[in-house]
Chains A and B, each alone.
Chain A
Amino acid sequence: MKYIDEFRDGDLARQIGARIAAEAHPDRSYSFMEFCGGHTHAISRYGVLELLPPNVRMIHGPGCPVCVLPIGRIDLAIRLALERGAIVCTYGDTMRVPASDSLSLIKAKARGGDIRMVYSAADAMAIARANPQREVVFFAIGFETTTPPTALAIRDAAREGLANFSVLCCHVLTPSAITHILESPEVRQLGTVPIDGFIGPAHVSIVIGSAPYDHFAEEYRKPVVIAGFEPLDVMQAILMLVRQVNESRAHVENEFTRAVTPEGNLKAQALVSEVFELRPSFEWRGLGEVPYSALKIRETFAAFDAERRFDLNYTPVADNKACECGAILRGVKKPTDCKIFGTVCTPENPVGSCMVSSEGACAAHYTYGRFRDIPIVATTATVIEEAAP
């Protein structure tokens, strides 16, 4: 595939790997957090870790939209479908996120909820047009990448008077989440999580630009390298981070120059601020309440805000006690540190949100990397024999 294969070239990868190994000082370790789930997925799927020297460690960050969605938010969507009879439309990954009462959207669908998987907010609008007698709610999740399309849908719905369409807005913001991690006691005071730098988001940065990261680099003295989602992008970004650390620099650098500019997509930003405003606080799974970290629909578009329209009240719900998603999302623990990883919690039966999406740290490690650790299911052969007639 042209313009794609170039960024997955194995020979080049080995060359960059050799450079990283040559430039990383053997007497120190380097820990970098890739904020985005897209990077986590690329690292796991292409086997990037195998090409890194042992003293360069990657910490998987919280940038997976479904992973940070708290149980209470999914509960709201399920209630809309089951109790209020609305057609709830959402992106595929959201369907399997565990909610209260052992439910998820996909299980609520099996119980009779009209829940539909869509590829875009525009698809949800089409469903609303085709079902004028039904309430249609778009369960909108995601970072700055998916926010502009939702904003556009709300604005268009207002213009065309699509009265049965509304949005349950759960859009969250990247920079505030990174600040929250850097402010967390583990990182700031205890020093238990050494983060030497960040791989900055790819698609998010196309929208918001590279400027919003200047603050971390300056304030927290952490280098940030914005990188594309292809494996070579990631490798190159790691090399750039190693160099910054070696030179004791903490700058925002842009590896993803083919798409990211300092100011970002101004049109999209204008659209987003026309439709949305900051929430004073929003609960993230794993991170808890994070101030000014999410968006809500402005008063002008209140008619399209499912929270106002259905008078929804958010109730926080605690995660499963054994689940370590919170610590994993903050980079404090690794998936394998969790007692229920791969035993109780698997991609088929996710307990925690990190196991749901292929961008989640746990699912990525389980799906692509678990051969590196221990037997997860030691006795499948005997299971088969027992099942045989």
Chain B
Amino acid sequence: MRTDIEQPASGEAPAPRPVKKNYIRPLDIKHGRIDMSHGAGGKAAAQLIEELFLAAFDNPFLRQGDDGAVLALPAFDPAQGRLVMATDGHVISPLFFPGGDIGCLSVHGTVNDVAMCGAKPLYLSASFIIEEGFPLIDLQRIVKSMAAASREAGVPVVTGDTKVVEQGKGDGVFISTTGVGVLPPGVQISGRNARPGDVVLLSGSIGDHGVAVLSKRESLAFETTIESDTAALHTLVAAMLAAAPGAVRVLRDPTRGGLATTLNEVARQSGVGMLLQEAAIPVKPQVDAACELLGLDPLYVANEGKLIAVVAPEFADAVLAAMRAHPLGCDAARIGEVTADPHHFVQMATRFGGRRVVDWLSGEQLPRIC
């Protein structure tokens, strides 16, 4: 990028090369840091957007340079066409962790929220709150990771915002993303739809993200080979919906609060109970060991690339097969079933042979996990 400096400005500069003006010293990404002027809306802010954000996210919507993005929606039946919109703030600490960083996480988190409604995600917005003094090299690493995740998911970041807060009033960088998607006709997915007799499916092993993040926390720092499972799940969802149209009633990604909290949300929303089989819930041995050591229960540890589905019993095998055929669902398992229970208890038959409640997460198990 630095070699572009001497090039005369040209209104028609080809993408992804940012438009450069003469006599502007490029950002010193390697040594530079965010200062208050980057958030003041002046020249420095414009330069940051051009050289760092636009360079990474480059797409026609963002290049319009307007206050908002004008978007094309795919044609759909106006009688049935529905938009889905979801938003998610990311305050994870540390910003970089095994298997990912706050950048890709902020794309996956929102793409997944849209996907859990059964929708095809189309566009993202991103808002950055950056702390004064934050190294540009780290910001670029985060933004590039975010751009790569958005490109891989096929969901462009079409509009954004940058704010800077004084040192000590933020913690590096916070990222909020909002996603918009369209719901195919006929798809009815909601946490209210679970019915007694339905089958509960889980797309893979639980607790990977939380343990990966925890392993890098200053106060804990332990060695583990576990990486965060952060991933965009919309193609897995599409495969599941295609396998048995109408069979998937509930989709959720068990992030904060883990599998236990997510299933309790669904049980309460639908007014049902659940009975899980502990032996059927996949947990990697490394995650199990880390949790044992730290006194955590994997059921409550966050995930960023897993989903649960509540499925009509007659189609459970078909949906499970579709999940297992997808790279993000190869360890998918049938973990339990929905019961009629006026108290909405999520119960679990333990591997030990007893039975117990799997309750909501109470208090906070691990702060700032996403």
Contacts and interface: CB of A to CB of B under 8 A. Distances in A.
Interface in A303-337: none
Given A1-B292, A118-B219, A381-B271, A47 B362 contact: no
Interface string A28-56: 00000000000000001111111100000
B288 to A, nearest CB: 5
Given A48-B352, A371-B343, A384 B359 contact: no
A184 interface: no
A49 B356 CA distance: 10
Contact of B354 (A46, A347, A367): A46
A280 to B, nearest CB: 34
Contacts of A50: 353-355
B345 interface: yes
B352 A231 contact: yes
A370 B357 contact: yes
A14 interface: yes
B85 to A, nearest CB: 15
B289 interface: yes
B141 interface: no
B354 A371 contact: no
A347 B271 CA distance: 22
Contact of B351 (A10, A118, A384): A10
A378 interface: yes
A371 B269 contact: no
B58 to A, nearest CB: 38
Nearest to B341: A371
Contact of A367 (B269, B351, B357): B357
A355 to B, nearest CB: 10
Given A384-B268, A384-B269, A13 B353 contact: yes
Interface size classification for chain B: 20 to 34
A10 B344 CA distance: 27
B342 interface: yes
Given A1-B292, A47-B353, A50-B355, A378 B343 contact: yes
A42 to B, nearest CB: 9
Interface string A357-370: 00000000011111
A189 interface: no
Interface in B248-268: 268
B271 A375 contact: no
A367 B343 CA distance: 14
A50 B357 CA distance: 13
A380 B350 CA distance: 26
B347 A371 contact: yes
A371 to B, nearest CB: 5
Given A347-B363, A371-B345, A1 B289 contact: yes
Interface string B326-358: 000000000000000011110100111111110
B73 interface: no
Contact of A368 (B289, B342, B343, B357): B357
B71 interface: no
B354 A375 contact: no
A123 B221 CA distance: 13
A368 B348 CA distance: 9
A36 B357 CA distance: 21
B74 interface: no
Contacts of B352: 8-10, 13, 46-48, 51, 231
B182 to A, nearest CB: 22
B353 A14 contact: yes
B346 to A, nearest CB: 9
B355 A47 contact: yes
B1 interface: no
Contacts of A370: 345, 357
A17 B343 CA distance: 29
Nearest to B363: A96
Contacts of A367: 357, 359, 362
A118 B218 CA distance: 11
B220 A46 contact: no
Given A371-B345, A380-B268, A1 B354 contact: no
A44 B269 CA distance: 26
B78 interface: no
B356 A368 contact: yes
Contacts of B362: 347-348, 367
Interface in A1-26: 1, 4, 8-10, 13-14, 17
B285 interface: yes
B29 to A, nearest CB: 31
A8 B354 CA distance: 11
A9 B350 CA distance: 10
Given A376-B343, A384-B269, A47 B354 contact: yes
Which A-B residue pairs are the 8 nearest by beta carbons?
Answer: A47-B354, A347-B362, A50-B354, A46-B352, A368-B356, A10-B353, A381-B271, A375-B343
Interface of B: 219-220, 268-269, 271, 285, 288-289, 292, 342-345, 347, 350-357, 359, 362-363
10 contacts: A13-B352, A46-B356, A366-B359, A367-B359, A368-B356, A369-B356, A371-B356, A371-B357, A377-B343, A380-B271
Given A1-B288, A10-B352, A375-B342, 4 more contacts: A48-B352, A51-B353, A371-B343, A380-B268
